[in-house]
Amino acid sequence: MGLLDKIEGIQRNVVLSDFTTFHMGGPADYFYELTDVMKFPEAVEACRGDGLPYFLLAWGSNVLFSDKGFRGLVIRNLARNCQAGAPVEASGEPGKEGYRPAGQLIEADSGTLLSQVIQTALKNGLTGMEKLMGIPGTIGGAVRGNAGAFGLEIQSLFEKALVYSPGEDRVKEVDRTAMNFTYRHSSLKENRDILLKIALRLIPGDSAAATEEVRQIMTYRAGRHPQGYSAGSFFKNPSRNSIGEGQSAGQLIEACGFKGEKVGGAYISDKHANFLMNDGTATMLDVMELYTRIQEAVWKKFGLRLEREVLLVGEHEYIADIFRAE
Ligand SMILES: Cc1cc2nc3c(=O)[nH]c(=O)nc-3n(C[C@H](O)[C@H](O)[C@H](O)COP(=O)(O)OP(=O)(O)OC[C@H]3O[C@@H](n4cnc5c(N)ncnc54)[C@H](O)[C@@H]3O)c2cc1C
């Protein structure tokens, strides 16, 4: 009997397909749902002690699990406390880069859904994150990937976070400078730190106008995004200094004629070419075949290597993204 078996609530052989928006995934050997972020260290340390890989899952809107499953522990974050916090003073010099106006914190467990954070903010008369409404997933997932929409990235609201560092086995507070935010990137993609609690800086404002903006954004998204199983944009948009400058990944893929292209149960949406979809029967092999075809075609036509945005996790000969216990 290993250390993991001693943790209350650990489940065995849990099929993962219902826990991601792509709805693909075989069984995880071990599965653990937590509602208290302070339970992360115990689970991670047990994996390290047992020599098993672990993977932190939130809402699963940026992850594809292999249909062969995961030979380790999947920890699903269901910790969702969220409330308005203390007022914060302005920092930096007005008009200069990095200036942040006075505001108020909104504090959330990392498993809180982004939509819940926005609603809580609006109820407390705090505005500034409306443009992020409609991005599926948790505030933890959004901060890790510096999620953004309509010109707003979560980094501009980020104030501080409580993180657990498995390497150091300690909980510490980090500020914005430690996060190294860039486009769809933060330092958490380089280290193995786990966000436990997050504080965003918002501004007291007109809740009624902000609520109307949220409504408009939701209508826009409903009309533009394909319905069905997907993980959102499969590829990142090319960086500003690359050859495909000015063109989104979706436009490049569409120009290569991939709209509607199908391999097994995986297909490219005919509404949005950067959405790789699952008809309910996709395997990781189907996804990899389609993904590789797209990368090769865009490379041939534009001399540009599209970078994947979604994470591929689990047992499969192609997969290299999984987190491993050290
Ligand atoms: C229909 C659709 C539309 C989308 N639109 C957008 C969009 O407009 N803009 C955008 O940026 N993204 C978009 N996405 C992608 C996705 O919603 C975001 O990447 C989201 O922030 C992921 O959050 P999650 O909770 O689902 O994370 P998950 O998918 O569960 O996890 C993603 C990664 O984050 C890590 N992670 C999660 N929580 C933590 C934590 N607490 N600490 C450390 N690491 C953690 C996981 O280990 C994993 O590596 C869209 C996705 C879909 C399906």
Instruction: Please indicate whether residue 138, judged by its CB atom, sits closer than 6 Å to ligand 1.
Output: yes
What's the CA gap between 261 and 257, in Å, rounded? 8
Ligand 1, atom 6, residue with closest C-alpha:
135
The C-alpha angle with vertex 148 and arms to 142 and 151, in degrees rounded to 5, equals 160
Mutate to test the pocket of ligand 1, among 135, 277, 324 (most ligand atoms within 8 A of CB): 135
pTM of the model: 0.94
Atom of ligand 1 at shortest range from CA of 226: 1
Instruction: Please indicate whether residue 128, judged by its CB atom, sits closer than 6 Å to ligand 1.
Output: no
> Is 61 considered catalytic here?
no
List Cβ neighbours of 40 (8 Å cut-off, separation of 6 or more): 34, 56, 75, 164, 194, 196
Ligand 1, atom 36, residue with closest C-alpha:
141
What's the CA gap between 226 and 277, in Å, rounded? 9
Strand order in the sheet with 229-233: 229-233, 275-278, 266-268, 262-263
Q: State the CATH architecture for 82-219.
A: 2-Layer Sandwich (3.30)
**Which one is catalytic: 45, 254, 307, 309?**
309
Query: 235-308 belongs to which CATH class?
Result: alpha beta
For domain 8-77, give its CATH number from 3.30.540.10, 3.40.1180.10, 3.10.20.30, 3.30.43.10: 3.30.43.10
Q: What percent of the chain stands above pLDDT 90? A: 84
Is residue 76 scored above 60 in pLDDT? yes
**Interval 2-12: pLDDT, tens:** 889 899 999 99
> Is 93 considered catalytic here?
no
Mutate to test the pocket of ligand 1, among 118, 144, 196 (most ligand atoms within 8 A of CB): 144
Among the listed residues 37, 39, 48, the one whose alpha carbon sits nearest the alpha carbon of residue 10: 39
| Angstrom distances, CA of residue 134 to CA of 207, 222, 297 | 18, 9, 31
**Interval 110-165: pLDDT, tens:** 999 999 999 999 999 999 999 999 999 999 999 999 999 999 999 999 999 999 99
Q: What percent of the chain stands above pLDDT 70? A: 95
Give how far the C-alpha of residue 159 lies from the chain's centroid of Cα atoms, to the nearest Å: 18
Categorize the per-residue pLDDT at 319 as very low, low, confident or very high, splitting at 50, 70 and 90. low
> Is 233 considered catalytic here?
yes
Q: Which of 77-86, 189-198, 316-325 has the lowest mean pLDDT?
A: 316-325
Query: Residue type for 64, please?
Result: L
What's the CA gap between 168 and 264, in Å, rounded? 44
Mean pLDDT of the region 70-80: 97
Domain ranges of the chain: 8-77, 82-219, 235-308
Ligand 1, atom 37, residue with closest C-alpha:
141
